[in-house]
Structure 1
């Protein structure tokens, strides 16, 4: 059975979203302002921690990274953290559509 997870945060006027679809193949995408800027695909349930990198569309572009890791909890098995501008911010989980 395929599982879906979605994490989202608004940061400095930008939307940052991470979507995970796991099953026989696990696909993880990083969206900034609704545009895909990183994608990872692996057979199986994925290996964690997993870090995807992108950038905020500013002048000059500002780099960011999101890291997914297992929590060990059945109710929320993944956690996601946004690293940008020298700091880190947990990304809340949302119901995937």
Structure 2
């Protein structure tokens, strides 16, 4: 059975979203302002922690990274943290729609 997780934060006028679809194959995508900027695909449930990197389309561009890790909790098995401009910001998980 596939599990889906979605994390989202608005930061400095930009939207950062991480979507995870896990099962036999785990796919993780990083969207910045609605555009896919990084993608990772692996057979199985994935290896954590996992970091995906991109940048914000500012002038000059600002690098960012998101790190996913296991929490050990059944109801929220993954956590996601955004690293931007030397700060780390936890990204809240969106509820399923």
TM-score range, shorter chain: over 0.9
The CA deviation string for residues 17-53 of structure 1, in whole angstroms up to 9 with x for no partner, is: 0000000000000000000000000000000000000
CA 96–40 in structure 1, closer or farther in 2 if over 3 Å, else same: farther
* Structure-2 residue corresponding to 1:17: 17
Q: What is the root-mean-square deviation in Å for CA atoms of aligned residues?
A: 0.7
1:5 partnered with 2:26:
no
* Structure-2 residue corresponding to 1:73: 73
Q: TM-score, normalised by structure 1?
A: 0.98
C-alpha contact (below 8 Å) 1:53/1:65 kept by paired residues: yes
The gaps in structure 1 that reach 5 residues or longer are none
- Displacement over 4 Å in runs of 4+: none
C-alpha contact (below 8 Å) 1:19/1:96 kept by paired residues: no
Q: How many residues align?
A: 97
The gaps in structure 2 that reach 5 residues or longer are none
Aligned pairs for 1:1-97 within 5 A: 1-97=1-97
Q: TM-score, normalised by structure 2?
A: 0.98
Tell me the distance in 2 between the aligned counterparts of 1:75 and 1:34: 27
Task: Please report how far the alpha carbon of residue 95 of structure 1 lies from its aligned counterpart in structure 2 after TM superposition.
Answer: 2.3
